[in-house]
Amino acid sequence: MSSQNRTIQEALSAIERSQRLKRISWLLGLAVVVALTYGGLQVLNFSLEMLARQQDNFFAAIADFVPPNFVELSLYSKTNEVEGLGGVLQTLTHPGTFAETFTTEAGRNGTILGLSFITIVIGFTGTVLGFPLALVFGILGSERVVPFPFNFVFRGTMSTIRAIPALVWILIYIPLAGITPLSAMLAVATDTIGNLGRLFTDELEEIDEGPIEAISSTGADRPQIISFGMLSQVSTSFVAWTLYILEINTRIAISLGVYGAGGIGQYIDTRIALGAYDRGAAGIAMVIFIVLTVELLSSRIRARLRPGEHEGKGFVDSLRDLGNPKKWLGVGDTTKDSKN
């Protein structure tokens, strides 16, 4: 009995020793991070005193942004010079002029809605055009499909593409199309190959061996084994990843606009440069609206793709769910709601 107690005592002290060691190394790590951050702030000439001195200027400038002025929201508000939030109201109550805002050159280049349309088109077409190459590179980059080390040719290509940000890709495409919405789209498409392809490759590394074995035992040839045994396992997650990249690409399209490549980003940039902060604020409000809408749409579709959640639910039911705010926000017992 006493010998057993001793061993328990020994085990206890061994555990406590290792826990103490773990705690000390955590504290050491934390101290290192704090020291490095402090050093970094010195490099950046950070001083609270300077920020305090500038704060009045800063808040005065921020105040210029409110209230946002939506006079350039649509062709209607622009031609009738409806200032402030009235621009939104008047635009919504005159939907007849929507088409003109999106189809005419004046609408697409001079209104918030038209320019937002350009931005969304850049993000969307860039994603769609980048997708096939992302698919090819992503599949060929997987060790399951192309044996090591040859798959690294494709992995390396994707890594290189990824290492160059879209903001630099558009500079590379200047000789091709200048800094325009077109070159912005090309930059987004290139970026998509690297980012989406990498996600595809990672996804393929996680598939089960079973269905591959099952398909090969039917006497299927190599391309059939890849398509049915491997890709069929990941098809829905490929779609989900593509939607996720679409969200990111929409944001990239906005920042490329600030760079001068057109769209809502450029609107914000020029209005702020001209000192029309209230109009710039309207553009920023629009950006928030676009990004949140794309995110919400894409996350709803991705949730639907997740197996199990919407088992056997018909298309009509899913459409009805689109009108359920709880579903959108992902709260509440949604199954109960739809039954009531």
Residues forming the site for other proteins (CB under 8 A): 208, 210-211, 213-221, 223-224, 227-229, 232-233, 235-236, 307, 311-312
Per DSSP, the residues of 126-166 read HHHHHHHHHHHHHHHTSTTTS-TTTHHHHHHHHHHHHHS-H
**Residue 142: burial class (beta carbons within 10 Å; 0-12, 13-18, 19+):** buried
When the beta carbons of 229 and 262 are compared against other proteins, the nearer one is: 229
Residue 254: CB minimum distance to other proteins, A: 34
Residue 19: CB minimum distance to other proteins, A: 39
When the beta carbons of 49 and 209 are compared against other proteins, the nearer one is: 209
When the beta carbons of 193 and 212 are compared against other proteins, the nearer one is: 212
* DSSP label of 276: -
Q: Which residue has the tokens 């606009």?
A: 257
Query: Is there a contact between 97 and 82 (Cβ–Cβ < 8 Å)?
Result: no
Residue 306: CB minimum distance to other proteins, A: 12
Q: How far is CA 114 from CA 74, 83, 273, 291, in A?
A: 7, 18, 20, 16
Query: Is there a contact between 112 and 264 (Cβ–Cβ < 8 Å)?
Result: yes
Residue 217: CB minimum distance to other proteins, A: 4
When the beta carbons of 276 and 303 are compared against other proteins, the nearer one is: 303
Residue 220: CB minimum distance to other proteins, A: 4
Give the count of beta carbons closer than 10 Å to the beta carbon of residue 329. 9
When the beta carbons of 147 and 219 are compared against other proteins, the nearer one is: 219
